[in-house]
Every structure is written in C-alpha cells, then in structure tokens.
Structure 1
Amino acid sequence: MSETGDVSSTILSSAARLLRETPFDEISYRILAEAAGVSERTVFRRYPTRAHLLEALSRWIEEHALPLPAFTSFEQFREAVHTRFRAFDAAPAYAFVCARAASVSPTLTAEASFLTEAVRALVDECAPHLNNRDALRIASALGSFASAQFWARMRSGYGAGATEACAAFDAVLDRVVATLPAHSRAAAR
C-alpha cells in the first residue's frame, strides 16, 4: 500500500465502515488506524485535524457511498434529489457527516462539490439568458435545498424523513422554475 491514494482510500473506507456503528466523534485516530491496517501516524499525516478527516470523509461518502445521480434537466434533478434523500434516510450517519462537513470551514483545497458544479451547469444550460448574479442565486437556492444540510435539518429539527424533505424541495424547485421565462421552462424539461 505505497500509493498515497490507496492509503487515503483505505482510511476513508474504514472510517465509513466504522460510522455504521460508531458516531464520528467517537472514532479516534487509533481506532481508525487499526481498522484501516495502518499506523496512527499515517492517519495523522493524511488528516492532521479532525476537520481534515471530516471533509475528506464527506467527499468520499458523496463519491462512493451516496453518489448523486446525474441530471441534465430540472425534472431529472428532482428525481436525483429524491433518490439522494431516500439514500440519506437509509444511511443517516453518512448524511449527517456530509451535513456537518459542509458547515465547517474548508481545510483542503476548496473545490466546489459535485452538487454545486452540477446545479450551476444545469442552470447555465437551461437558462443561458440569465445574468451571472441571477444564475448564481438560482443555483445557490437549489443547491441548498438539495443538500445534506437541508435533509439533516428536516430530520433533526422537524422529525421529517425523505418524503417531507422531497416535498419541501419540490416546492422550492417548482417556485424557481416558475420564475424563469417560458422558453427556459420549456428547455428545462
């Protein structure tokens, strides 16, 4: 296991396995190192702080355990978010890690998440006439309501599950799409 990527992937997949039975805050670097079959020092070298580990684990979960289905229209986006929220209901520990990571200051090279990039591309494709400010506002609203943070707030704050989170997301999506000119709404379907 001399490749940095392989070691990092092993550490992150081990952390994800541990999350199934242990809250993130109770997973020590020692426990994680034992589960990954590496030294504790190796874990510290890759993730010098818990924030680094949290951010990397969140990206790993989003990519490997709870990937967002691809979409090129607002209706496909709706279905992708519904699928995502149901996956969050099935793996709440993963969803809460993703939500928590999104709320801390970035520690790694701050790249936009797949969700952010995909929503912005969707808005640019379906409503190319929008100025940058309006496109950013729409993408930001849609991305916020499609996020793990939104699902986690619905779950922990209101006792809601995927069905209720999907309904709230649908209301926002319908409202946003309704504000677009008719030719953009037609192109978005």
Structure 2
Amino acid sequence: MEEQQPLSLRDRQTAATREQILTVAMQQLGEGPRGTFSHESIAEAAGMGARTVYRYFPDRASLLQALWLRLREATKTRFPDSEDEILTMTRTVFREFEANQLLVRAVITSPAGTEVRERGGAEGRAAFAKSLANALEGLSEKEQARLVAVFVSIYSAPFWQLLRDRGLLSGTEAEEAVAWTLETLIKAAKEIPRTEQHTTQEKVNHHE
C-alpha cells in the first residue's frame, strides 16, 4: 500500500476555503425565511469576494448539491438499500430530525433550504425503488411510481414536522408513528392484486 502524501499548503488552503463557504451557507440556511441566501450574501458573511465563492461553486446547482451532502451528514440522513433496512433507518432518521430540529425546521421553511432538500429527491426515489423491489414486483409502472412517491414523502423532514406540529406527537411518538405507517404500507403493497398482464410484462422486462 502506497503511503498517502500529506496535502500541500495550497491544497489545505483550498479545502479550508471551501469548508468556510459551506459553513457560512449552512448558517444562512439555518436562519430560515428571515435570512438571505446567494453567492453574494455568502461571500459578504464569509469576508471574501463573490468571485471566490463562484470559483468554488460556479452556479447555484453546484452549491445546492454540496449543501445537500453537508445537510445529509449533519442529520445522518441515509436511504435504505433493502426492505429490511427501511424501518430501522426510518427510526434513525426521525431521531436525527428531532436531535437537529432547529436546523431541520429552518431548512424546511427556507426557500433555499427547500431547494437543497430537493437534491435528495432523486436519490430517495432510486433508493426506495430498489429497497421495495419485492413489494413493487408485478405492479404497473404507474403503481410503482405512486408507491415510491408515497414512501419518499413519508421518509422526510416535512412529514416529521407534520407529525410533531399538526399531529401534536412527541419525538418518540412521531418515530413510532412513521415506523408503523411504513410497515403497514409495505404489507398493503404486497397485497395489491397483480394482474397476469403486469406479471408477464415484468418477466419480459427482466429477460430483455
């Protein structure tokens, strides 16, 4: 195994600047709807020129993607790879929403925060399409898309907020409620009648 070479001063400075930009951007997200969010506002708060921020993140999309990854780390948000992981990971994610609720609530109410969370939409849909493979087998594409959409919507910070604020549940009760909801949906999905047409088409697609 080759010994990893230490980072040069320039590389360390580059990493530190990038980290500073993302830290300030996360702070602005945490201010919720009252805060501002742009390359220029981040640069001003970080004490650097806007050109520096654009150098590291040339457009809004690249900045939002980096912030999504940072938010996912902060809240330990992960998506299940298998059906067996769904309930366990749901409980963990909702526990993390509770532990980081100031940031989570701010991201939910901030327009920029909403854009950040949308970066995880594609990742979530792909993950649930995979983890629910057994429950989705034999269903039409429209039915599969509908079920995946429901799971992605429930496995989310806005659903946690609804259970806490409108449902008036405690954090623990919200965790139990979402686990029960997804468990019930998984069972119900497997009981949806499969038509011969759908089953045959699945087999055809599988062998193509």
TM-score interval for Structure 1 and Structure 2 normalised by the shorter chain: 0.5 to 0.7
TM-score w.r.t. length of structure 2: 0.62
Alignment RMSD (CA, Å): 4.1
Against the structure 1 CA distance between its residues 28 and 111, is the aligned structure 2 distance closer, same or farther, given a 3 Å change threshold?
A: closer
Select which of 32, 42, 48 maps to 1:38.
48
Select which of 166, 171, 174 maps to 2:175.
166
1:180 aligns with 2:184: no
Deviation of 1:112 after TM superposition, in Å, equals: 3.8
TM-score w.r.t. length of structure 1: 0.67
Larger deviation, residues 60-69 vs 137-146: 60-69
| Contact 2:128–2:148 (8 Å) recurs in 1 | yes
Larger deviation, residues 141-150 vs 32-41: 32-41
Deviation of 1:141 after TM superposition, in Å, equals: 1.1
Identity among equivalent positions (%) equals: 19
Number of residue pairs matched by the alignment: 176
Q: What are structure 1's unaligned runs of at least 5 residues?
A: 183-189
The structure number with the bigger radius of gyration is 2
For 2:111 and 2:188, locate their aligned partners in 1 and report how far apart those are by CA, in whole Å.
28
Deviation of 1:55 after TM superposition, in Å, equals: 4.4
2:159 equivalent in structure 1: 150
Amino acid aligned to 1:95: V
1:54-65 alignment to 2 at 5 Å?
55-56=64-65, 59-65=68-74
| Contact 1:99–1:147 (8 Å) recurs in 2 | no
Question: Residue 180 of structure 1: SS of its match in structure 2?
Answer: helix
| Contact 2:21–2:43 (8 Å) recurs in 1 | yes
1:128 aligns with 2:170: no
For 2:130 and 2:111, locate their aligned partners in 1 and report how far apart those are by CA, in whole Å.
20
1:116 aligns with 2:107: no
Against the structure 1 CA distance between its residues 100 and 180, is the aligned structure 2 distance closer, same or farther, given a 3 Å change threshold?
A: same
